[in-house]
Structure 1
Amino acid sequence: MKEFDLIKRYFAEQPVQRKDVLLGIGDDCAIVVADDKHHIAITTDTLVSGVHFFEDTDPRAIGHKSIAVSLSDLAAMGAEPSWISLAISMPSIDEDWVEQFCAGVFELSEYYNVQLIGGDTTSGPLSITVTAQGLTPVDKRLTRAGANAGDWIYVTGEIGDAALALQYLLKNVAVEEVYRDQLLTKLHYPKPKVLAGQLLKEYASSAIDLSDGLIGDLNHICQASNVGANLVLDSIPLSQALVETLGLEQGVKLALNGGDDYELLFTVSEDNKVGMETALNNANVKHTCIGQLNGNDKITTTLDNQPIQIDAKGFEHFLHD
């Protein structure tokens, strides 16, 4: 099967056909329409076999996650996901693999009304690059740089399960069978918090998606906003699976460093706190306050109301033991 046959057979036919796509798959460029009331948010992420997923990972899961990580970036900006481009390199064309991969891509795309409008295919080591674009109102969007001292720090969902699943797959920890499916689903099929991002752009002062570990991503907000943070470790929402497997202290440490959560970390002022909590509660979005920003440039951590030193840096690309 040749490149364009592959594109026509597996990628061109899809359930979403948006009216604002003037020219989609099949030309050198895609052409999309945006009105004068919106900006287009654009993000690009690459997943590499052996780095971001194991070679034997279910292709459906790889397809799902390749889209989810980019949509999570858009969610952190408060953007409405609209279009994606996909570039994939493969050692060879395995049609069964491609079919399952596309199933994962288009299931998530259909759920969020996102259209694949182009990309590239080539021969090489397995690698997937997704560029996602979304609309934000001209006068209302989230960034990492809007936080202020005194703002409260929140996260959605529970933190650390994906990292625990990875440690289980690496055979570094034993996990009870009753928890395995739950943890592996968190790792392989993350759910981008798009709805939460849409709501938070009305209330939050800053936001970031949790991809590289809680402490590392909080540091990104602090640096961009020129603030520090007081982080209450016992408030970090951990699942029963994580606590029962590792205990509270080690569970917290994994949540701080692990990454791959794709939840949202965000800040909100005292004035907007009640409105934000009401909006998220009405949408059934779990959220937890885990600390408060301060006016210095340091992140301090407490456990049981006592200061505690945490050796936590978060995930960094290209750094290996």
Structure 2
Amino acid sequence: MPSEFDIIRRYFTRPVKRALLGVGDDCALIAPEPGTVLAVSTDMLVEGRHFLAGADAAKLGHKALAVNLSDLAAMGAAPRYASLALALPEADETWLAQFTQGFFTLAGVFGVELIGGDTTRGPRNIAITVIGAVPPELALRRDGAKVGDEVWLSGCTGDAALALAHLNARVRLSDAALAHCLARLHAPVPCVALGLALRGLASSAIDVSDGLVADVGHIAERSGVSVELCFADVPRSRALAACADERLAQECLLAGGDDYELAFTAAPDSRARVAALAAESGLALTRIGSVSAGEPGLVSVYDASGKIMHIASKGFDHFGG
């Protein structure tokens, strides 16, 4: 059985080009890029909470990094580095090879260098810290939304939650719909290019990880504004459009989470620029609501008749009831 240091050498040590010093010392050494600040974010995935025992290791390596890169995307930061802290019940080299294949494949796509971390024996737990670079005046913060701004959403929400609903026998999906939704659940693609393109255009942004209403609510709270969403304008994938259980579809769309799309606000006179960005990038960017001067942090969802909808759950909360 390999030792801890064998594992680090075999599976996690890679040459670095941008960092001054990577894996193998007490600390990594990195130099800030001129004209930028460092954007730093950490996410943890715990077996039994975020993924099931026996989950595909390669997909897990991909997702563990992807959810962190999504935070950098929401800040408009260019990905640069990552550190990885990994607890494993045993030194399973087959699992390690598959996990690192998924991790480093995605890291290569976005030019991310692994520069350090830690390994230990314990219940399976994956904690990644990512570091990106962004000019401070162009960072997409949550606290920049202004009254009168429009609320936009990339892609569609709800597909990952619909996959979970299928796995939990709450709904039965067709083979094609299930394949689509499982891909959204297990192999999300962080909207890094979109985040960079929104610099100087969006007044605020957030990645949709815990649920659309909950995450838009974070923007509203930090910005001291309220948000009004139009339910009919929230886009649905074909899989969700085909869901016969409208109550479940609503739950997935508004509170499902695990979407890793970007929700952002922009001034009304930026609408043409957002449309041009959508056309140039081939991304679906949909206007779903507006920012108002109501109760700070309040998100109201209106149905087609203009009535406020009752939302039973706004999103995922690790310590919620």
TM tier, smaller:
over 0.9
How many equivalent residue pairs?
317
Q: CA RMSD in A?
A: 1.3
Matches within 5 A, 1:195-214: 195-214=193-212
Instruction: Report the Cα offset of residue 281 of structure 1.
Output: 1.9
TM-score, with normalisation over the residues of structure 1? 0.96
**Structure 1 residues 123 and 9 mapped into 2: Cα distance closer, same or farther (>3 Å)?**
same
Matches within 5 A, 1:253-292: 253-292=251-290
Matches within 5 A, 1:45-124: 45-124=43-122
Aligned counterpart in structure 2 of residue 194 of structure 1, from 192, 195, 200: 192
Letter in 1 for 2:4: E
Letter in 2 for 1:293: V
Q: Map Cα deviations across residues 72-130 of structure 1 (whole Å, 9 max, x no partner).
A: 00000000000000000000011001100001100100000101111000000000000
Instruction: Report the Cα offset of residue 247 of structure 1.
Output: 4.5
* Matches of 1:212 and 1:127, distance apart in 2: 19
Q: Map Cα deviations across residues 206-240 of structure 1 (whole Å, 9 max, x no partner).
A: 00000000010011010000111111001111111
Residue 314 in 1 paired to residue 315 in 2?
Answer: yes
Residue 236 of structure 2 corresponds to 238
Residue 13 in 1 paired to residue 14 in 2?
Answer: yes
Instruction: Report the Cα offset of residue 138 of structure 1.
Output: 2.8
8 A Cα contact 1:236 1:252, kept in partner: no
Letter in 1 for 2:69: L
* Matches of 1:248 and 1:155, distance apart in 2: 21
Instruction: Report the Cα offset of residue 308 of structure 1.
Output: 3.0
Q: Map Cα deviations across residues 42-88 of structure 1 (whole Å, 9 max, x no partner).
A: 00000000100111210011100000000000000000000000000
Secondary structure of 2:144's aligned partner: coil
8 A Cα contact 2:303 2:309, kept in partner: no
Instruction: Report the Cα offset of residue 179 of structure 1.
Output: 1.2
Secondary structure of 2:258's aligned partner: coil
* Matches of 1:290 and 1:10, distance apart in 2: 44
**Which stretch shifts more, 299-308 or 61-70?**
299-308
8 A Cα contact 2:212 2:314, kept in partner: no
| Structure 1: runs of 5+ lacking an equivalent | none
| Structure 2: runs of 5+ lacking an equivalent | none
Residue 251 of structure 1 corresponds to 249
Instruction: Report the Cα offset of residue 290 of structure 1.
Output: 0.4
Instruction: Report the Cα offset of residue 285 of structure 1.
Output: 1.6
TM-score, with normalisation over the residues of structure 2? 0.96
Residue 296 of structure 1 corresponds to 294
* Matches of 1:198 and 1:124, distance apart in 2: 38
Aligned counterpart in structure 2 of residue 226 of structure 1, from 224, 227, 232: 224
* Matches of 1:41 and 1:12, distance apart in 2: 23
* Matches of 2:53 and 2:199, distance apart in 1: 37
Secondary structure of 2:50's aligned partner: coil
**Which stretch shifts more, 66-75 or 31-40?**
31-40
